[in-house]
Structure 1
Amino acid sequence: MVTTAMGFSAMLSDIVCANRTDPIRAQIFSTTLMMSGIATFLQSVFGIRLPMFQGPSSSFIPPLVALSRLDAWKCPETDISNTGYNISSTTAINMTFMHEAHTLEAKHNKLMLFSGSLAVAALLEIILGFTGFTGFLVKFVSPITIAATITSIGFSIINLAIKYSEKHWGISLMTASLGLIAILYLGNMSIPLPPFRKGAKRIYIFRNYPVLFAVGVGWAVAHILTVYNVFTSDRTHSHYTARTDAKIEILHLTPWFYLPYPGQYGLPTFNMAIFLGFLVATLTSMIESIGDYFAAAQLCNIPRPPHHAVSRGILIEGLAGMLSGLMGACHATTSYSGHVALIGVTKVASRIVLITAAVILFILSVLGKVAAFMATIPDPIIGGIFIVTVVIMTSVGLSTLHGVTLNSRNTLILGVALGLGILSPTWIEDNPNSIKTGNFELDQIIKIILGTDMFIAGIIAAILDNTIPGTKKERGMVGADYEEEADNQLESIDQSYKDVYEFPMLQNFLKKHHKLCKMCPFLPTPKVICDRRLSEAIERRLSEPNEKGL
């Protein structure tokens, strides 16, 4: 998660045209860490109550990339060596904007637009979780739609990977190769921990932390090459960004302690085009999270989440997304599929572990120098992170097809969705002036929608999959995730398993006001509460000493 946060904060800093040594890079990273810690804590204690790690959602990368293609958001090219890089294609830029883009006020204005638009977009997730409407929505989202959406997210990161990696392909490919080798070949290799003796505890570092391992080695190699001046000292040369001291000024400009707070960049503002892009990202993130809930429950060997628990998890993610917007994180948080996979690998599925991790993230977020150090990561290493991210997101997307019949119907739907998802943003980037409705705001909205490959692929896949005749079995919609009697499954299991999705600290309140649960779909159903009261009464009766001595 930390490596993902490093790449995400670097990308966001470049989109707002932050200077290479601008302390705002450390501030964005600190905010990302804090929101990941807060979201993880809330989800573990009050949300789905499964060991689900929360972090920055990759679903927000496509709309941000689409936004960067707009002329008003392009960074000045005259100082490209100092801003990092221009995400979009080269175009002529008004000289006044080029001067203003570097001002602190201009960067804060962009972040305020992100913040307000994200906070409003998160309202939809809150409403869906509060009303329990997520169960109805999932009925129309098949694995084919999920595969097209998540795979297109991976495709959308390709340009980012190239833009960062071309600063120094050697360092980028080395970092990416180390990460992929650790994932594919070194997963079963463990390293003993001190003291080195027979029976010592061993850690599977390559299986559990492949990207972190790759970043650490890549950063170390880059530092050695920097010390021996292998990399050029010319600030205008692209290879200069591979030096580990290229952003060292951030460490000097950042205070030891920094506490992110709501409105730290100013009062959040709203932009309809950004809002729609974030709205699509929020819906995609929500669908991905629901899939992670069921996968985590299966790996934990417990009953799948009932409807009220799923709704509560989505509600918490929505609240965390709104708080992220107000804090200026400019992205929502979501459950990490990679961490769900780690549950099956490490056999560790404890809420205490996740709560501890959340506290650690919160502490790290207020240590300004730590965030500043992380923000000095060389750009080519970030490129390596994005290369691995492309591979992981694509593989995760395609893995959702394991229960789908790959016949001509389904493969054609997937091919059309992915093909148009790639074609539309490419056309928008090559023809930025083709959309002319006479209304500037409407032009921006259309460009962002058509430039977000995730949205194009997802919506086309959903329409085709729900209109072309096909059985539920061949669509992959037969299984636990698509059954409707989730709450009834809890009736025939042990009482200890029922507690997983409930609130032990609130049971007395819910027992007295169980009618309230009828109006709140994110709370346990009255039947579940009544069954619990009956079970507890029977347990008390059995534990009482028999007065007659029988």
Structure 2
Amino acid sequence: MNNTQKEVGIRDIPKADKWLILSLQHLFAMFGATVLVPFLVELSPAVALVSSGLGTLAYLLITRGRVPAYLGSSFAFIAPIIAASTLDGPEGAMVGCFVAGLVYGVVALFIKTSGINWLMNILPPIVVGPVIMVIGLGLAGVAVDMAMYIPGSDPKIYSPTLFTIALVTLGITILASMFFKGFFGLIPILIGIVGGYTFAYFRGVIDLTPVKEAAWFQAPDFIVPFVTYTPSFSWQIIFILVPVAVVTIAEHIGDQLVLSRVVGKNFIKNPGLHRSLLGDGVATMIASFLGGPPNTTYGENIGVIALTRVYSVFVIGGAAVMAITFGFVGKVSAFISTIPTAVMGGVSILLFGIIASSGLRMLIDNKIDLGNKRNLLISSVILVIGIGGAFIKVSDDILVPGMALATIIGILLNLVLPGREKVDLNSLFVEEASEKESSAA
């Protein structure tokens, strides 16, 4: 990052030409991942773009225009949405996602009245780290299947052509991540998808007819309650989706800490974690109301902010408006639908691995000692239950799946096993302040 570059403040409005370019950067940074999630769970990418933009605008309003964060599709909900959709269709999954968004609101209310330390004490790194690893490793089979097999084949039919496309896509994504600098270094996912798509085109596996036939303006395939379907409540769906909110709330706190460090303001204190959590929850409810995957704050866009030193919420808002606009461009939606499954599979191999590795990094960054029996027991149980696919069948209608069960057991073990250390969130900002003072000196 160029430290001599002038900062653009949170409330600053850039000139029109610069505003457009800066907003496009954020759109590109979030595009690949935001489109990938609905692709994997068989929802509309166009709806995901619209709900991402609307959710981000709602977030900016709820945080009073003080937190420059962009919200896109959440990877944590991929496996639960797939499981819920299998049981009750995408409509049932959307009901569960809506309730998960409500959980954010409940937690935000508790934080408003009683502070944040209680939340960090039931969700310390020793619980959240392994659960994040479960999210990534639990999806490993999905990525490999997408990369190797012909879509929809039953039994599965191996395709060397598709696997080659997936490996080329993976290779391009890795090279972009390692060697590209500046803005291009922030969008390796998008670069990988473009490169893999180009290779697939020359291998003759892409049909562009849908793009030619699509209209320029076309409303996305929204799934709206009481309009396209009548919502029904299912405890089984709730048990599948709602526990994931525990993990995404912890991720949200981490993103707020990183963003606070980048911008140089304590967003946990002002406008407050309760506001940012509420904004995240409302964004998830908006997405589920329209038929899109739940939203979450995006680390990719935090990276753009750190690189450019442009903190303006108006730039973030501009990217949100662009995402909404793109969602209504029929040819864009049709083009996304032509992306081969193998291309997405190649990207997913890296992405899901990164998710798992980020859980491991959380343990390392927080200096979690796995030589400590308590930590070893908690992490081991979470990993095996979550990845192994254990579940509890309460009744014919209620099933607690592996990820949810692993999270619940991890929280319980952390609370009951002796030797638990309390987490002081304020110390994080003291350390950050000390680092800044040292660098200034």
Same fold (TM over 0.5): yes
Structure 2 CA distance for aligned equivalents of residues 416 and 306 of structure 1: 34
Among 218, 228, 243, the alignment partner of 1:257 is 218
Structure 1 CA distance for aligned equivalents of residues 180 and 307 of structure 2: 10
Structure 2 CA distance for aligned equivalents of residues 116 and 58 of structure 1: 18
- TM-score, length-scaled by structure 1: 0.64
Q: Which residue pairs with 2:46 in the alignment?
A: 30
Does structure 2 retain, via aligned residues, the 8 Å contact 1:143–1:404?
Answer: no
Structure 1 CA distance for aligned equivalents of residues 50 and 429 of structure 2: 36
Q: Which residue pairs with 2:14 in the alignment?
A: none
Structure 1 CA distance for aligned equivalents of residues 63 and 379 of structure 2: 33
* 1:481 CA displacement: 6.6
Larger Rg: 1
* 1:221 CA displacement: 1.0
Structure 2 CA distance for aligned equivalents of residues 187 and 350 of structure 1: 25
Q: Which residue pairs with 1:239 in the alignment?
A: none
Structure 2 CA distance for aligned equivalents of residues 250 and 275 of structure 1: 38
Q: Which residue pairs with 1:374 in the alignment?
A: 336
Q: What is the root-mean-square deviation in Å for CA atoms of aligned residues? A: 2.8
Gaps of 5+ in 2: 1-29, 150-161, 434-441
Does structure 2 retain, via aligned residues, the 8 Å contact 1:111–1:265?
Answer: no
Q: Which residue pairs with 2:409 in the alignment?
A: 460
Does structure 2 retain, via aligned residues, the 8 Å contact 1:140–1:462?
Answer: yes
1:315 aligns with 2:293: no
* 1:124 CA displacement: 2.1
Secondary structure of the structure 2 residue equivalent to 1:306: helix
Q: Which residue pairs with 1:53 in the alignment?
A: 70
1:173 aligns with 2:161: no
Residues 469, 482 of structure 1: alpha-carbon distance in 2 compared, 3 angstrom cutoff: farther
Does structure 2 retain, via aligned residues, the 8 Å contact 1:282–1:332?
Answer: no
* 1:35 CA displacement: 0.9
Structure 2 CA distance for aligned equivalents of residues 436 and 325 of structure 1: 26
1:7 aligns with 2:23: no
Correspondence 1:181-220 to 2 at 5 A:
181-183=175-177, 185-188=178-181, 204-205=183-184, 207-220=185-198
Secondary structure of the structure 1 residue equivalent to 2:137: helix
Does structure 2 retain, via aligned residues, the 8 Å contact 1:139–1:482?
Answer: no
Q: Which residue pairs with 1:81 in the alignment?
A: none
- How many residue pairs match? The answer is 381
Secondary structure of the structure 2 residue equivalent to 1:440: coil
* 1:253 CA displacement: 6.0
1:121 aligns with 2:134: no
Structure 2 CA distance for aligned equivalents of residues 395 and 296 of structure 1: 20
Paired residue type of 1:162: V
Identity of matched residues, %: 23
Q: Which residue pairs with 2:426 in the alignment?
A: 480
Structure 2 CA distance for aligned equivalents of residues 403 and 308 of structure 1: 26
Does structure 1 retain, via aligned residues, the 8 Å contact 2:58–2:282?
Answer: no
Among 394, 406, 431, the alignment partner of 2:356 is 394
Does structure 2 retain, via aligned residues, the 8 Å contact 1:259–1:365?
Answer: yes
Structure 2 CA distance for aligned equivalents of residues 399 and 481 of structure 1: 20
Correspondence 1:264-303 to 2 at 5 A:
265-303=228-266
Structure 2 CA distance for aligned equivalents of residues 392 and 398 of structure 1: 10
Paired residue type of 1:153: I
Gaps of 5+ in 1: 14-24, 74-108, 189-202, 227-242, 429-434, 490-550
* 1:328 CA displacement: 1.6
* 1:471 CA displacement: 5.7
* 1:370 CA displacement: 0.9
* 1:379 CA displacement: 0.7
1:404 aligns with 2:367: yes
Q: Which residue pairs with 2:58 in the alignment?
A: 42
- TM-score, length-scaled by structure 2: 0.78
1:405-450 Cα offsets, whole Å, 9 max, x none, are: 3242223422232122212x1x66xxxxxx877x421xxx22xx23
Paired residue type of 1:218: G
Structure 1 CA distance for aligned equivalents of residues 96 and 212 of structure 2: 31
Higher relative CO (Cα under 8 Å, sequence separation at least 6) belongs to 2
Does structure 1 retain, via aligned residues, the 8 Å contact 2:210–2:334?
Answer: no
Paired residue type of 2:201: H
Structure 1 CA distance for aligned equivalents of residues 271 and 121 of structure 2: 16
* 1:394 CA displacement: 1.5
Does structure 2 retain, via aligned residues, the 8 Å contact 1:29–1:371?
Answer: yes
1:351 aligns with 2:313: yes
Secondary structure of the structure 2 residue equivalent to 1:470: coil
Among 90, 101, 123, the alignment partner of 1:111 is 90
